[in-house]
Structure 1
Amino acid sequence: MKNNRILGHLIKLSLGLMISLGCTLALADSYPSKPIKAIVPFAPGSTTDQIGRAFAAKMTELLGQPVVIENRPGANGLIGADLVAKAPADGYTILFGTNSTNAALKSLVKNLPYNQDTAFTPIGYFGSAPLIITVNNDVPVKSLNGFVSLAKANPGKMTFAYASTSQRVSSEMLASAADIKMTGVSYKSGPNAMTDVIGGQVNMFTADFGVTLPQVQAGKIRGLAVTSLKRSPAIPELPTVNEALGIKGYELIAFFAVFGPADMPKDAILKLNKAINDAAKSKDVIDRFSAMGFETQPGTPEALGQKIKVETAKWAKAIKEAGIEPE
């Protein structure tokens, strides 16, 4: 009788474990079972927003659940990033992040409200794009070299707009490399900054192709150079900064990637990563954004994690060399 009771208990325990395991697998198989909120930490119309919305639409098709964009701009992306860092790690709140949020803020902000190195789960990489250095049409220069000469003749009087880390650091790096002094003007969003550049309230603006290229092509502002090491096929007439100034080593590339809160379930990470990579390979996404100088680069979550370590060190060096002090 005793052996029978023991056997009965073992059978019940085994059944319980099987049911529990079955429920766990069912939950894993069902992800995503509801809409996914994607936080874009910059304003509507920004390059991050444009790229994010295109990827979200593709991911929605591939995952079978809506990927809903929510814009949370401000503080160089910190507001949106902080929201995701503190969200439940269930795969239903993700960050469409950039070099600002996931590489540079650590070197720009003294007291981040989260640990940038441990607060996020790397999920997938969208791609990267250079920036264009532009000026208001009334600035009396036709080249970057001409702008540098004008700035040297008027120390501190030339103004530059910025609404993200890449926009600020690229301008400060230029000032350092060219030995000029400019005055930075902070904006909440790239589109807001662009309005003032077109209107002449600020002289210069270095920003992603998504914000600058249409305005340069429309003749509303003047493009002077690109921030990549090679000229961009999207606007091949513009020289690189290195070409324009006869220097070496100037490069600043903006990147775009997806992150979740720390300790996300592996299954959710892998499903999201596959959807991101499939979207990055889709012809319509490639065709739409290649004209903006954007290059998609599918990869694993682990590769993104390694890239973030390298980029964090790279941006720390660029920020230090540009003479920007953490605030």
Structure 2
Amino acid sequence: MPPVARRPLFALATGALAAPWIAGGARAQGNYPTRTVTVIVPFAAGGPTDTVTRLVAEAMGRDLGQTVVVENVGGAGGTLGAARVAQARPDGHTLLLHHIGMATAPTLYRRLPYDPVNGFETIGLVTEVPMTLVAKKDFPANTLAEAVEVIKREGDRLNYANAGIGAASHLCGLLLMKAVGTAMTTVPFRGTGPAVQEVLSGRIDLMCDQTTNTTEHINAGSMKVFNVTTAERVQSLPNVPTSKEAGLPEFEVSVWHGLYAPKGTPAEIQQRLSKALQAALRDEKLVARFADLGTAPVAQDRATPDAHRKFWQADIAKWKPIIQAAGQFAD
């Protein structure tokens, strides 16, 4: 895949190259969408964000009356895919579906080829997904308390997988190691799918991943699970305790997903996309599939541009001191 062009954001709004985009966008507003809509997933295929996106894209396509395709642009903790969308034509035909990494990138990355805060228009929140602490089948613990004892005893002799710096699994791991007070050897992978496969194979000891990607493996008995990282238990994993129930209340995090368009996308198109997103989140097939994966759509009033932006800004403020205290940056 060709490298992302490192153009400044003002080039998207000024200059000879930008003018046709703006004019074209203005002409297209009345009959948007005029062609296939592409939703960029900034992670490898098979991961939890990919799973969520494919369900949303299929349902949105029915409301928009156009095919909505998913393209995986993984790498650099999700920033390569985000950059692709930030630099795309702001006409509503190239979108981004990203997770909590949109709130952490402004602190994790000190140099980016796009503006991580002002380079996008928000369309709406999609879902908040619980995470699970999982382990290989023969890991020598059966409860979270026992797992904590093993972590403290073995320390960096244990391997902890993540999908790269800035990925949800990386952030969850930071929170776990802070709560336990012990560092493990972290092993980054290019995407969540490959990392999960290494846990399933027994070559990796532990991983923290979203229920959308672990529920089926847990219910099949192919990996151990110690807890869910939310305040309440998950319907698809009713026997799995919460972090608080398992004795580690400070180990609590959920992974939210939101839909974005490039900065400068006309307000009418933003609203049309938000309407299609809201329709998708009411889709019975999507709701049922989300439930199978241990999550649910957000309330309709959160699937709006304004609600999404307010939530995003608040989460940026929440994660900034945590990342700075950890002293782990992606560049």
TM-score (norm. length: structure 1): 0.88
Letter matched to residue 267 of structure 2: K
SS in structure 1 at match of 2:246: helix
SS in structure 1 at match of 2:129: strand
Whether the 8 Å contact between 1:208 and 1:254 is mirrored in structure 2 is yes
Give the Cα separation in 1 of the matches to 2:253 and 2:315: 11
In the other structure, the counterpart of 2:18 is none
Give the Cα separation in 2 of the matches to 1:87 and 1:27: 16
Letter matched to residue 77 of structure 2: N
Whether the 8 Å contact between 2:129 and 2:212 is mirrored in structure 1 is no
In the other structure, the counterpart of 1:262 is 263
Give the Cα separation in 2 of the matches to 1:104 and 1:166: 10
Letter matched to residue 31 of structure 1: Y
Structure 1 residues 130 and 24, CA, compared in 2 at 3 Å: closer, same or farther?
closer
* CA deviation after TM superposition for structure 1 residue 271, in Å: 0.6
Give the Cα separation in 2 of the matches to 1:163 and 1:197: 12
In the other structure, the counterpart of 1:181 is 183
Does 2:161 align with 1:157? no
Give the Cα separation in 1 of the matches to 2:322 and 2:238: 26
Whether the 8 Å contact between 1:130 and 1:252 is mirrored in structure 2 is yes
Whether the 8 Å contact between 2:45 and 2:72 is mirrored in structure 1 is yes
In the other structure, the counterpart of 2:230 is 228
In the other structure, the counterpart of 1:15 is none
* CA deviation after TM superposition for structure 1 residue 39, in Å: 0.6
Give the Cα separation in 2 of the matches to 1:222 and 1:31: 47
State the superposition RMSD in angstroms.
1.7
In the other structure, the counterpart of 2:218 is 216
Q: Whose Rg is larger? A: 1
2:304 to 300, 320, 327: 300
Q: Which runs of 5+ in 2 are unaligned?
A: 1-23
Does 2:322 align with 1:318? yes
* CA deviation after TM superposition for structure 1 residue 244, in Å: 1.4
* CA deviation after TM superposition for structure 1 residue 320, in Å: 3.5
SS in structure 1 at match of 2:209: strand
In the other structure, the counterpart of 2:72 is 71
Whether the 8 Å contact between 1:169 and 1:322 is mirrored in structure 2 is no
Whether the 8 Å contact between 1:124 and 1:258 is mirrored in structure 2 is yes
CA deviation map 1:178-230 (0-9, x unaligned): 11221111001111001111112210011011211111111111011111111
Does 2:119 align with 1:115? no
Whether the 8 Å contact between 2:152 and 2:180 is mirrored in structure 1 is no
In the other structure, the counterpart of 1:36 is 37
Give the Cα separation in 2 of the matches to 1:307 and 1:149: 36
Whether the 8 Å contact between 1:173 and 1:321 is mirrored in structure 2 is no
In the other structure, the counterpart of 1:147 is 147
Whether the 8 Å contact between 1:209 and 1:292 is mirrored in structure 2 is yes
Letter matched to residue 236 of structure 2: A
SS in structure 2 at match of 1:184: strand
Whether the 8 Å contact between 1:169 and 1:318 is mirrored in structure 2 is no
Alignment of structure 1 residues 54-65 onto 2, 5 Å:
54-65=55-66
Does 2:251 align with 1:250? yes
Give the Cα separation in 1 of the matches to 2:212 and 2:304: 26
Whether the 8 Å contact between 2:26 and 2:266 is mirrored in structure 1 is no
In the other structure, the counterpart of 1:194 is 196
Q: Percent identity?
A: 28
Give the Cα separation in 1 of the matches to 2:258 and 2:33: 20
* CA deviation after TM superposition for structure 1 residue 275, in Å: 0.3
Q: Which runs of 5+ in 1 are unaligned?
A: 1-22
Whether the 8 Å contact between 2:128 and 2:255 is mirrored in structure 1 is yes
Whether the 8 Å contact between 1:107 and 1:326 is mirrored in structure 2 is no
In the other structure, the counterpart of 2:287 is 286
Letter matched to residue 308 of structure 1: W
Letter matched to residue 288 of structure 1: R
* CA deviation after TM superposition for structure 1 residue 282, in Å: 1.5
Structure 1 residues 241 and 24, CA, compared in 2 at 3 Å: closer, same or farther?
closer
SS in structure 2 at match of 1:125: strand
Structure 1 residues 26 and 82, CA, compared in 2 at 3 Å: closer, same or farther?
closer
SS in structure 1 at match of 2:208: strand
TM-score (norm. length: structure 2): 0.87
Kindly tell me the number of residue pairs found equivalent between the two proteins: 303
Give the Cα separation in 1 of the matches to 2:180 and 2:250: 12
Give the Cα separation in 2 of the matches to 1:161 and 1:65: 38
In the other structure, the counterpart of 1:51 is 52
* CA deviation after TM superposition for structure 1 residue 47, in Å: 1.3
CA deviation map 1:218-264 (0-9, x unaligned): 1111011111111112112111122212x434321111111011111
Give the Cα separation in 1 of the matches to 2:209 and 2:25: 46
* CA deviation after TM superposition for structure 1 residue 24, in Å: 9.4
